[in-house]
Amino acid sequence: MELTGIGVGRGVAAGPVLRMPEPLVAPSDDPHEGDTAAEIARAKVALAAVAVWLTERGVHAGGEAGDVLSAQSLMAGDPELVNDISARIERGSNAERAVVDSCDAFQKLLEGMGGYMAERAADLADVAQRVVAELRGVAAPGVPESDIPFVLVAHDLAPADTAMLDFTKVLALVTRDGGPTSHTAILARAKSIPAVVGVNGADAISEGSMVVVDAANSRVTLDATPDQIATARAERERWLTASHAPLTAGVLADDHAVPLLANISVLTEVPEAVALGAEGVGLFRTEFLFLNSTTAPSIATQQAAYVEILAAFPGKKVIVRCLDAGADKPLPFLAVAHEENPALGLRGLRALRAHENILRDQLIALANAQAESEADLWVMAPMVADLEETAYFVGLAKELGIRVAGVMAEVPSLALVAEQVLGVADFVSIGTNDLTQYTLAADRLIGSLAAYQDPWHPAVLRLIKQLGDAGAAAGKPVGVCGEAAADPDLAIVLVGLGATSLSTTPAALADVRAALLTVTLDEAQTRAARALTARSAAEARTLGSR
């Protein structure tokens, strides 16, 4: 029997199943029987203990996982959450019920805000589980331990769970929830392990059964036979050998160059990108400089960070994205009124225009860093909708000393006027994650809509082709910096649609590099043309992968 989902990467693995434990039994509704002050104190002690534990795990994990765990630690100590829990206890709730109800209320609030804040909602649910476990004096549900390698099956993985995964033991991941841009999918790419997410029927996979996880074909084979297991393990060895091939520049079989760049979220990720052969940076997210701060960082603070990343890539392209924040990623110094649908509100470049001093300071810091560096600095604006916004950003960037200024294509309207945009911008970079969610009107952070978050959808591919054609006509670069570029088969199609460079998580570079070497430009264009005729994402994947 086979189950299907969304494959992440090209790897194959076979092994016994271990399942994530089920969540803790919900607390009772019985009122607390002790002293109210003592019950509140008990809850505060548990929250503080969880906050300390998350902080320690964050330091140990480092990188992106460390940042997420640190954010969870701040949630556990958030004064509004603590006060709400205390108020519920004062009204009679026991500490466990107060924690669950309070976290649930805040979780619904975050989900309703959409975008980045909705992504944080799942983190809050994990905090609640850990605090309840602390109150009960039991271990929180977490990653199972094993002396032998295993395939981990779960509803989904919380950030704290991923930080504790032993990747010498975890052969593959299978989840019921999630899509190609979910936390689990991003983790799988970053760690180069096979995964199939969004698997309908994953709950029925039994503990201890032997399965084959085939990420390249997006399927999970249940109760695998010895022959199927042997074939999968042989394929895994071939895949591991290919993934450790010599580091070379991105190029097709006919020597057509396709630079392979890295997406970078924090400076600590730079050494890995260099080690894995990134030819530069296709997306440097600058949000880490602004988060967890009540005021915008100074020009000098920003400049120092930009100098550091530019120094790691002398003579190479480094594309920096200006601050992508706003109503769905609220910052105290970008305060806006409450919005019913913040994902469609004052965010990205719109928020920066409303606070132009912050944008000017960032551009000045980048121009100063550019003057100190041998790297080829390109700067782009997020969430740009049309020619007018493009002209505003490019004009301001050039005025302040930026030599190469472009925009991100994440909104369908920009693709539809691509020829106008590329008459002004020096380049366009396609953010396939947001482009997909806005094209299909499906929030990429809502698990029930994961099937819509598929960049293979013909509507998305057609928008990308419009951008590629406009870039070719203008003689200007059109790159891709979304998670779609991490899919080796889709990477080939993207090149066929006109992408001039691909930027992804560093761990995916080896797979993409190997895939590009198997086709000529004509063959990539043929695959792309076939995919464009598809009537669904699944059909496009089939037509474009051969």
Residues 318-338 pLDDT 10s: 999 999 986 556 677 776 666
Active-site hit among 103, 322, 355, 481: 481
155 and 286 co-located in one domain = no
Domain CATH number, residue 324: 3.20.20.60
DSSP secondary structure string for all residues of 297-311: PPHHHHHHHHHHHHH
pLDDT tens digits along 386-427: 999 999 999 999 999 999 999 999 999 999 999 999 999 999
Q: What is the pLDDT of residue 383?
A: 95
Q: Which of 89, 121, 136 represents a domain boundary (last residue)?
A: 136
- Active site annotation includes 103: no
What's the 3-state SS for 201-238?
CHHHCCCCCEEEEECCCCEEECCCCHHHHHHHHHHHHH
Q: Is residue 470 part of a domain?
A: yes
Residue 265's pLDDT is 87
Q: Which residues contact 324 (CB under 8 A, 6 or more apart)?
A: 285, 287, 347, 348, 382, 383
62: left (phi over 0), alpha (psi -120 to 50) or beta: left
Domain identity same for 267 and 392: yes
Tell which wins on pLDDT, 249 or 237.
249
Domain's final residue, options 181, 208, 238: 238
Q: Cβ distance 279 to 249 under 8 Å?
A: yes
Residue 12: inside a domain, yes or no?
Answer: yes
User: Both 412 and 462 in a single domain?
Assistant: yes
Domain count, the chain: 3
- Residue at which a domain ends, from 182, 207, 238: 238
| pLDDT tier at 339, thresholds 50, 70, 90 | low
Are residues 470 and 509 located together in one domain of the fold?
yes
Q: Residues 98-150: pLDDT tens digits?
A: 999 999 988 887 766 655 566 667 778 889 989 999 999 987 877 887 889 99
Q: How far is CA 309 from the centre of its chain?
A: 20
**Do 6 and 51 fall within a single domain?**
no
Confidence of residue 73 (pLDDT cuts 50, 70, 90): confident
27 located within any domain? no
Same-domain status, 132 and 148: no
Whether 481 is catalytic is: yes
Q: Active-site residue among 183, 322, 355, 457? A: 183
Residue 248 in any domain: the answer is no
pLDDT over 90 percentage in the chain: 59
Average per-residue pLDDT for the chain:
89
Token pair, residue 66, equals: 């460390």
147 shares its domain with 132: no
pTM metric for this prediction: 0.73
Per-residue pLDDT tens for 11-68?
899 999 999 887 888 898 888 888 999 999 999 999 999 999 888 877 776 666 677 7
- Spell out the SS3 assignment of 230-294: HHHHHHHHHHHHHHCCCCCCCECCCCCECCEEEEECCHHHHHHHHHCCCCEEEEEECHHHCCCCC
The reported pLDDT for the residue numbered 243 is 62
> Are 65 and 267 within 8 A, CB to CB?
no
Q: What CATH code is carried by the domain that includes residue 126? A: 1.10.274.10
Is residue 513 one of the residues assigned to a domain?
A: yes
Contact assessment for residue 498 and residue 471, using Cβ atoms and an 8 Å cutoff:
yes
Radius of gyration of the chain, Cα coordinates, nearest whole angstrom: 24
Per DSSP, the three-state class of 22 is coil
Residue pair 133/140 in contact by the 8 Å Cβ criterion: yes
The answer to whether residue 369 sits within a structural domain is yes
Q: Per-residue pLDDT for 470 more than 70?
A: yes
At residue 86, does pLDDT exceed 90?
A: yes
Q: What pLDDT, on the 0 to 100 scale, is given for residue 112?
A: 66
**Other CB atoms within 10 A of residue 275 CB:** 10
Cα→Cα distances 313→236, 261, 373, Å: 33, 11, 9
Of 262, 237, 232, nearest in space to 505 by CA: 262
Both 352 and 412 in one domain: the answer is yes
Q: Higher-confidence residue: 486 or 122? A: 486
* Domain hosting residue 419, numbered range: 260-544
Cβ atoms of residues 502 and 279 within 8 Å: no
Report the distance separating Cα 394 and Cα 407, nearest Å.
8
Domain membership of residue 433 (yes or no) is yes
